[in-house]
Amino acid sequence: MPAHYLALALRSLRHHRVLTALMILAIGLGIGASMTMITVLHAMSGDPLPGRSGRLYTPQLDPRPLSRGKPGRAVADDLPGSLTWPDAMALLRARRADRQAAMAPGIVAVRPGSTALHPFFAHGHYATADFFAMFGTPFRAGGGWSAADDDARARVVVLNAGLARRLFGDAPAVGRTLRLDDADFRVAGVLDDWHPQPAFYMPRNGHGQAFGEADQFFLPLATALDLKLAITGNFSCWGGGGDDRRSDHCTWVQFWTELDNPARARAYRDFLDAYWRDQQAHGRFPRPAQARLYGLVAWLDHEHLIPADLRLQLWLALGFLGVCMVNTVGLLLAKFLRRGGEIGVRRALGARRRDIFAQLGVESAAIGLAGGVLGLALAQLGLWSVRSRPDGYAQLAHMDTAMLFGTFALAVAASVLAGLLPAWRACRIAPALQLKAS
């Protein structure tokens, strides 16, 4: 029977070619637009460090004075996102986590010795020794540096693969000397194109840096401070006394810890709480907001990394899909009801409502399937156009297998839903009335 229904459906669809094309086009456009946006957002909310993110936590303290910010604004969610230098160093020295590192993004002038290359700027991170082991960065050659190097403000640098290739070509880079700003650094290691997305360890700012280019270099935080290298993150100060980086009234350091099990995480929370109380007893942390410890995924949620424009685009696409569906429902309904006579005859000849419903359902499913295929093609086109955008996240816009099936499921679900109402309405046609009328 289904094969017969399919044949009937195709005949009916062919009969109203223009109308069929319009319905398929409407569903295809709606599905295509929605799937493009859903895929982009899905790619952007991926896990940056699969298998490791569950053990990573960032402690957050709010050392700012009470008077800042607009009155009446919710204080609970309003965190600076970064720590002050003294707090970061206190947490680092306490060594209460399995691994911990302080870090801040920066920019340095790379000055290749050779005359072939002009000096250029490179973006990277200043960090402490545990950074590499904690985040499991893959090394192509060499390694990171030790805590002793941190203390000694050693002039060592870890390059990401891209910068190493640009500077040294295919020759081994480890052990070579590199002039950054006005100091010579020894290359300690080369990373294997490490580029977690979103870059969860970046400080927040308004420019979507979490989806930008990969870090090109890493060097010890203490060394960067020593040499007064430029910091590019949020550097936020309050009160008087200038913007000295080591002061306790400027937040600019990101801090991450690795805690191997929930018990360790609980213990670290207690430790943070004790630290906060102790500092408060010494006159710091005037705000009532307590110390917090966020897991990586919870932190990404808290930071709302996905740009508002993109979320708006998603809602727009879904609204568009909704209108397209209502459109298809209306057209299918009109089409099915127009076949009242035919349906009446079938009913009079003994077809059950269920049979009519199945027959019409097959017809709407055929439209949905065609719309889904068109939608998939349009989504690929949409993703291709997203990838050509200049935004940092654009390169992430690829469809994986899960999203491919998701698209199809959405298309079929949308069209079956769109077909349900008309089919249900049509199968309620009373046979006698229709026969009499015609």
Partner 1 sequence: MPRFPLLASLTRHRLTVLLLVVQVACTCAIACNVALMIAGRVASMRQSSGVAEEQLVMIDSTAMGRQDNPLARHQADLAALRAIPGVKAAAAVDALPFNGDNWSNGIATAPGSPAHLAATAFDGTPGELQTLGLQLVEGRDFRSDEYLPVDSGHDWAGIDRVSVVIVTRALARRLFPGRDPLGRSIYPGDHPVRIVGVVDHLLRPDLESGGDGNEDSTLFPMLPDTRDVTYVLRTAPALRGHVLKQAMRTLQRLDGERILDHARSFARLRADYFRHDRTMLGLLLAAALGLLLVTAVGIAGLASFWVQQRRRSIGIRRAVGATRRDIRRYFQAENALIVAGGIVLGSVLAYALNLALMTRYELPRLPWFYLPAGALALWGLGQLAVLGPALRAAAVPPVVATRAA
Q: Which residues of this protein are in contact with partner 1, per CB under 8 A?
A: 19, 22, 25-26, 29-30, 33, 109, 111, 118-121, 181-182, 242-243, 308-309, 311-313, 316-317, 319-320, 322-324, 326-327, 329-331, 333-335, 337-338, 389-391, 421, 425, 438
How close are the terminal C-alpha atoms of the chain, in Å? 28
187 vs 156: CA distance, rounded Å: 6
| Residue 29 CB, nearest approach to partner 1 (Å) | 6
Closest CA to 202 of 252, 151, 159, 273: 252
CB-nearer residue toward partner 1: 157 or 331:
331
φ, ψ for residue 156, nearest 5 deg: -120, 155
CB-nearer residue toward partner 1: 176 or 425:
425
| Residue 327 CB, nearest approach to partner 1 (Å) | 4
**How many other C-beta atoms can be found within 10 angstroms of the C-beta atom of residue 216?**
21
417 vs 436: CA distance, rounded Å: 32
CB-nearer residue toward partner 1: 49 or 237:
237
How many residues are there in the chain? 438
φ, ψ for residue 169, nearest 5 deg: 65, -140
CB-nearer residue toward partner 1: 23 or 103:
23
| Residue 16 CB, nearest approach to partner 1 (Å) | 9
| Residue 11 CB, nearest approach to partner 1 (Å) | 18
| Residue 239 CB, nearest approach to partner 1 (Å) | 12
Contacts of 379 (CB under 8 A, 6+ apart): 31, 32, 35, 36, 39, 399, 407
Sign of the torsion angle spanned by Cα atoms 229, 232, 233, 236:
positive
CB-nearer residue toward partner 1: 147 or 323:
323
| Residue 331 CB, nearest approach to partner 1 (Å) | 5
Q: Are strands 250-258 and 217-220 parallel, antiparallel or unpaired?
A: unpaired
CB-nearer residue toward partner 1: 4 or 338:
338
